[in-house]
């Protein structure tokens, strides 16, 4: 396995083994030390005695950087997005966040009409160097705190979209996003934070990764083959990378070698890595947590059909949530979110049809 | 003496600028009727005192945000006429290189962001730009233009509240022209004045005659000084009227002829011209001379714009991302 990620069971963090929340926090701290123009904006991110954002990512940062740079806002998502955009145009590098990705719908005018288009409408004279962080994923919070929204933003020309699946990529990609001169919507999965204490996420994966002492960046727009294989290509993001890896390990026991690709960025998208893999394996399964219709996986399938159709040895399969809101009851949520078992069954059926 | 001279110079400059706004809009209206401009236009005849009074109170490095009705703001702010005209003609030499059009004119070099055509959409941007000024310790302010219609949208309330709690250097300039497209303000707002809404955010709210450029200038100087000194934003309501329809196809049947006529009696350019003649700042014949100079300037801008190169079709593909 070429990924620096490993999944452990309740193993305490080693010195440089970090959770996603810790790695993202370190990225923010390093970039704030490096560049005075980096500021943070969000709800409950820097309050003394508070919890450092909904998932502890900004915990302790206001002690080092003060409330001039860690700006606790009112509950005003549209203004958070618009003020971040205006501040970016004005020469700062804001990193704003919403507590739950679902609240991004409140920011849509500012992100889709202003942040995404100001450079274009100005004829290339302006740039909008901002990051907007958003936690996604179904976690028994029901329909308005559990959606996966990547596809909405992938569709808006002028926005970059990042979705790291592990702490190593999370840190390196957040640093790249902060240094990027474009607006980047940065999706994080709630079950991958590894947040501790009261903010610990029930059902969360204990994902930790080795994070080097020395500085590094992970560029936006590069997918990663996290497991090589010859029989089928699994393309996934966020939590689904981990489920795909678990499925791949089970499939290997049946003699099916799955290649797993973590897309990492949706905009820009690393088409070459996906095309190369599909041309090698001849089979494609896309795994995403979003609703099936119009999800980012649909775009992957369309491009592969356009570019690799002659290499395919079977139909393309899509594994996604059904076209319903996110349900609350765990028994229904488990049905809604694509499972390891569903991936195994789908791939087995595809590779070795009865 | 020196102060008097500079005051006179300012008044003449404001007069000339207001007339340029008016004549630009009149000329553009005919270009539009002649089918020489693509797209749509939202014109600002009658609102010259608000644009010019506010922008005359700004420093070169201050910033202006604007709306779907931005021509006079751009002219008042000093966006070059040639590049404005070229943008309306969809030319590569336009202030947005043909990618903006009438509703997005602006030029950050001149101190104006591309206009934002979603009602209320620029208000958070203005607050954000002001946050950058404050954080970067630049002694500048943002003048944020919007209509009274925008004061009913959430972004107005969210952004003003945040600008207020952080004492941001921004002046929220409401051009209350009494109609949001065809909808009269009384129909959609229970308070009498937009400025009353400032009380909800703990900032000063001021209502003044928006058709008197000197009154507007004075009010903006005061609000600007407050913002510049770190005391935070003001909600400045300028009562005015647009003589034009909402957009190119609007004959304005929702307003009575009497109402339009009554406001035309208060035409900001006529009012100011009469005053300047009475004060001896304009001599008989000066107004005609200025108008003739402006006419030449506009004709030259039109001739230039017509000659200027169009963008290539594939230019559509550039400027989506930086780098």
Indicate yes or no: CB of A181 within 8 angstroms of CB of B135: no
CA distance B136 to chain A (A): 8
Last residue of a domain, one of A186, A210, A234: A210
User: What gap in Å lies between CA A231 and CA A180, rounded to an integer?
Assistant: 37
- Any chain A CB within 8 A of the CB of B153? no
**Rounded to whole angstroms, how far apart are CA atoms A328 and A331?**
8
Q: Does pLDDT of A262 surpass 80?
A: yes
pLDDT tens digits, A53-72:
999 999 999 999 999 999 99
Going by pLDDT thresholds of 50, 70 and 90, the confidence category of residue A4 is: very low
The verdict on A35 touching B (C-beta cutoff 8 Å) is no
| Average of per-residue pLDDT values in chain A | 94
Q: Residue A224 has what pLDDT? A: 98
Residue A196 has pLDDT above 90, yes or no: no
Average pLDDT, chain B: 96
Note which residues in 44-63 of chain B have CB less than 8 A from chain A.
63
Question: Which among B97, B109, B125 has the least Cβ separation from residue A124?
Answer: B97
Domain harbouring A13, CATH code: 3.40.50.970
Residue A240 sits in a domain of what CATH number?
A: 3.40.50.920
Q: Is A250 helix (H, G, I), strand (E, B) or coil?
A: helix
C-alpha dist (Å) from residue A246 to A132, B44, B303 = 30, 63, 69
User: What residues of chain A lie within 8 A of the CB of B106, using their CB?
Assistant: 122
Provide the number of structural domains found in chain A.
2
What residue in B sits closest to A123 (Cα-Cα)?
A: B96
Q: Is residue A217 part of a domain?
A: no
Which regions in chain B score pLDDT beneath 50?
A: none
User: What integer pLDDT is reported at residue A353 of this predicted model?
Assistant: 56
The answer to whether the CB atoms of A123 and B154 lie below 8 A apart is: no
Same domain, A66 and A16: yes
Nearest-neighbour CA in chain A from B2: distance (Å): 36
Q: Do A293 and A254 belong to one domain?
A: yes
Residue A216 placed within a domain: no
Query: Does a structural domain hold residue A172?
Result: yes
A-B Cβ pairs (cutoff 8 Å, strict): 153
Residues A140 and A56 both lie in one domain: yes
Q: What is the pLDDT of residue A9?
A: 42
Domain co-membership, A194 together with A245: no
* Mean pLDDT calculated for residue range A142-154: 97
**Residue that is last in its domain, among A146, A180, A210:** A210
Whether A160 contacts chain B with CB within 8 A: yes
* B100 and chain A in contact, CB less than 8 A: yes
What's residue A242's pLDDT?
98
**Is A218 inside a domain boundary?**
no
Query: Does A314 map to a domain?
Result: yes
Any residues with CB less than 8 A from the CB of B270 and at least 6 apart, and which?
Answer: none
Helix axes B2-33, B81-88, angle to 10 degrees: 20
**Cα(B265)–Cα(A177) distance, integer angstroms:** 56
Q: Residue A135 has which token pair?
A: 């936690």
- Report pLDDT digits (tens) over A263-278: 999 999 999 999 999 9
Strands A224-227, A284-291: parallel, antiparallel or unpaired by DSSP?
unpaired
For residues A62 and A177, membership in a common domain is answered with yes
- Interchain CB distance below 8 Å, A82 and B124: yes
Return the pLDDT at B107.
97
Please answer yes or no on whether B128 and A87 come within 8 Å at the CB atom. yes
Contact yes or no for A158 and B320 at CB 8 A:
yes
Report pLDDT for A15.
61
Tell me the pLDDT tens digit for each residue of A279-298: 999 999 999 999 999 999 99
Question: Final residue of a domain: which of A210, A245, A280?
Answer: A210
Q: Is B161 part of the contact surface with chain A (CB cutoff 8 Å)?
A: yes
**Catalytic (active site) residue A189:** no
Residues in chain B closer than 8 A to A72 (CB atoms): none
Say whether A74 and B123 touch across the interface (CB within 8 A). no
DSSP output for A117-141 = THHHHTTT------EEEEEES-SSS
Instruction: Judge if A174 and A268 occupy the same domain.
Output: no
Q: What is the pLDDT of residue A1?
A: 36
Measure Cα distances from A60 to A25, A70, A168, A200 in Å.
Answer: 9, 10, 21, 17
- Average pLDDT of span A332-349: 98
In chain B, residues with a C-beta closer than 8 Å to the C-beta of A118 are 113-114
- Distance in Å, alpha carbon of B279 to nearest chain A alpha carbon: 42
Angle CA(A146)–CA(A150)–CA(A151) in degrees, nearest 5?
115
The one catalytic residue in A145, A155, A242, A354 is A145
The topology under which CATH files domain B2-309 is: Rossmann fold (3.40.50)
* Nearest Cα to Cα of residue B45 among B259, B251, B245, B244: B244
Residue A176 sits in the same domain as residue A266: no
Complex confidence, ipTM: 0.95
Q: Is A108 part of any domain?
A: yes
Tell me: the pLDDT tens digits for B290-312? 999 999 999 999 999 999 999 99
Same domain for A343 and A247: yes
Q: What is the 3-state secondary structure (H, E, C) of chain B?
A: CHHHHHHHHHHHHHHHHHHHHHHHHHHHHHHHHCCCCCCCCCCCCCCHHHHHHHHCCCCCCCEEECCCCCHHHHHHHCCCHHHHHHHHCCCCCCCCCCCCCHHHCCEHHHCECCCCCCCCCHHHHHHHHHHHHHHCCCCCCEEEEEEHHHHHCHHHHHHHHHHHHCCCCEEEEEEECCEECCEEHHHHCCCCCHHHHHHHHCCCEEEEECCCHHHHHHHHHHHHHHHHCCCCCEEEEEECCCCCCCCCCCCCCCCCHHHHHHHHCCCHHHHHHHHHHHCCCCCCCHHHHHHHHHHHHHHHHHHHHHHCCCCCHHHHHCCCCCC
Instruction: Return the residue of B nearest to A75 by Cα.
Output: B158
Show Cβ contacts of residue B44 under 8 Å, excluding neighbours closer than 6 positions.
Answer: B21, B25, B51, B69, B71, B72, B73, B242, B244
pLDDT of B246: 84
CA-based torsion, A324, A330, A331, A335: positive or negative: positive
Contact A113 B116 (CB under 8 A): yes
CB contact under 8 A, B127 and A79: yes
Q: Domain residues for A266?
A: 224-351
Does residue A219 lie in a domain region? Answer: no
């Amino acid at each position: 396995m070429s990924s620096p990620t490993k999944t452990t069971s309740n193993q305490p963090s080693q010195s440089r083994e970090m959770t996603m929340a810790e790695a993202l926090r370190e990225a923010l701290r390093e970039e704030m030390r490096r560049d005075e123009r980096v500021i943070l904006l969000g709800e409950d991110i820097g309050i003394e005695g508070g919890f450092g954002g909904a998932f502890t990512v900004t915990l302790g940062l206001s002690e080092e950087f003060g409330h001039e740079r860690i700006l606790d806002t009112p509950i005003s998502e549209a203004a958070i997005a618009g003020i971040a955009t205006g501040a970016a145009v004005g020469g700062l590098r804001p990193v704003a966040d919403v507590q739950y990705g679902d609240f991004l719908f409140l920011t849509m005018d500012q992100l889709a009409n202003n942040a995404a288009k100001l450079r274009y409408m100005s004829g290339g004279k302006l740039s909008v160097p901002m990051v907007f962080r958003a936690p996604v994923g179904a976690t028994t919070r029901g329909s308005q705190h559990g959606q996966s929204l990547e596809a909405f933003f992938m569709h808006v020309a002028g926005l970059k979209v990042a979705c790291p699946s592990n702490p190593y990529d999370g840190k390196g990609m957040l640093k790249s996003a902060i240094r990027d001169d474009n607006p980047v919507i940065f999706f994080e999965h709630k079950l991958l934070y590894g947040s501790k204490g009261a903010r610990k996420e029930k059902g969360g994966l204990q994902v930790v990764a080795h994070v080097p002492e020395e500085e590094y960046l992970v560029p936006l727009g590069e997918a990663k083959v996290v497991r090589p294989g010859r029989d089928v290509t699994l393309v996934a993001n966020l939590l689904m990378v981990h489920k795909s890896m678990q499925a791949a390990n089970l499939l290997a026991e049946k003699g099916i070698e799955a290649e797993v690709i973590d897309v990492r960025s949706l905009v820009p998208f690393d088409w070459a890595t996906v095309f190369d893999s599909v041309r090698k394996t001849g089979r494609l399964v896309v795994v995403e947590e979003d609703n099936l219709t119009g999800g980012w996986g649909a775009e992957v399938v369309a491009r592969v059909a356009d570019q690799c159709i002659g290499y395919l040895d079977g139909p393309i399969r899509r594994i996604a949530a059904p076209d319903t809101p996110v349900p609350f009851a765990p028994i229904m949520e488990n049905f809604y979110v694509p499972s390891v078992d569903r991936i195994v069954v789908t791939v087995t059926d595809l590779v070795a049809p009865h | 003496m020196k102060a008097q001279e500079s005051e006179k110079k300012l008044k003449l400059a404001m007069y000339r600028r207001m007339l340029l706004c008016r004549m630009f809009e009149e000329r553009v209206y005919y270009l539009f009727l002649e089918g020489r401009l693509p797209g749509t236009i939202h014109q600002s005849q009658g609102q010259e005192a608000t644009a010019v009074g506010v922008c005359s109170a700004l420093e070169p490095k201050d910033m202006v945000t604007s709306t779907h009705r931005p021509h006079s703001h751009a002219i008042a702010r000093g966006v070059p006429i040639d590049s404005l005209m070229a943008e309306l003609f969809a030319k590569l030499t336009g202030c947005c290189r043909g990618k903006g059009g009438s509703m997005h004119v602006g030029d950050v070099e001149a101190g104006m962001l591309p206009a934002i055509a979603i009602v209320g959409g620029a208000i958070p941007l203005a607050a954000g730009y002001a946050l950058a000024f404050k954080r970067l310790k630049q002694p500048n302010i943002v003048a944020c233009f919007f209509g009274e219609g925008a004061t009913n949208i959430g972004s107005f309330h969210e952004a003003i509240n945040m600008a207020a709690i952080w004492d941001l250097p921004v002046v929220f300039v409401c051009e209350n022209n009494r109609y949001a497209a065809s909808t009269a303000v009384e129909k959609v707002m229970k308070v009498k004045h937009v400025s009353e809404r400032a009380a909800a955010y703990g900032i000063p709210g001021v209502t003044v005659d928006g058709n008197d450029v000197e009154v507007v200038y004075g009010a903006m100087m005061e609000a600007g000084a407050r913002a510049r000194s770190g005391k935070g934003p003001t909600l400045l309501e300028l009562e005015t009227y647009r003589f034009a329809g909402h957009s190119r196809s609007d004959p304005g049947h929702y307003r009575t002829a009497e109402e339009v006529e009554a406001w035309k009696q208060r035409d900001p350019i006529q009012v100011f011209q009469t005053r300047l003649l009475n004060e001896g700042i304009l001599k008989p014949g000066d107004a005609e001379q200025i108008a003739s100079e402006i006419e030449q300037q506009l004709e030259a801008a039109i001739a230039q714009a017509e000659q200027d190169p169009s963008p290539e079709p594939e230019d559509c593909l550039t400027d989506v991302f930086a780098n």
